[in-house]
Amino acid sequence: DTEVTQTPKHLVMGMTNKKSLKCEQHMGHRAMYWYKQKAKKPPELMFVYSYEKLSINESVPSRFSPECPNSSLLNLHLHALQPEDSALYLCASSQSMSTSGGDNEQFFGPGTRLTVL
């Protein structure tokens, strides 16, 4: 099973709403990633979790709050977002954050298309 699942597929929210994005993988991967992708741009890294601990935060505004409840799940909590936060949010996983042993390809989920009104 090389699948990463994400829910919901689409989300529309107002600027005062609180919502959460969910990501799940059952490949035994110990690193999980959140990316933001605007139209016609490559994915931009937001957060990286390694062994359920936040390892990298790419200076993301605090209105985005990640959470890793266990090794298979990754959440992204959203609060007081701005219209410019509308984008495709992608989750990915890999064996680990280490690049020394190979097997460092990241497997991506289908993404959540977020629209902030």
Q: Does 27 bind other proteins (CB under 8 A)?
A: no
Smallest gap from residue 52 Cβ to other proteins (A): 15
Q: Which is nearer to other proteins, 80 or 110 (CB)?
A: 110
What the block records as the tokens of 88 is 């495709």
Q: For residues 67 and 52, is the Cβ–Cβ distance under 8 A? A: no
Q: Please, what is the end-to-end C-alpha distance for the chain in angstroms?
A: 36
Q: Does 116 bind other proteins (CB under 8 A)?
A: no
Q: Which of 14, 41, 54, 77 binds other proteins (CB under 8 A)?
A: 41
In the chain, at which residue ranges do the beta strands (DSSP E only) sit?
Answer: 4-7, 10-13, 18-25, 31-37, 44-50, 53-57, 64-70, 73-79, 87-94, 107-108, 112-116
Query: Distance of CA 107 to CAs 17, 93, 94, Å?
Result: 30, 5, 6
Q: Which of 24, 36, 109, 114 binds other proteins (CB under 8 A)?
A: 109
Q: Which stretch binds other proteins (CB under 8 A): 15-23, 63-71, 77-85, 109-117?
A: 109-117
Residues that bind other proteins in the complex, under the rule CB under 8 A: 31, 40-43, 45, 48, 50, 55-56, 88, 90, 92, 94, 96-100, 102, 104-111, 113
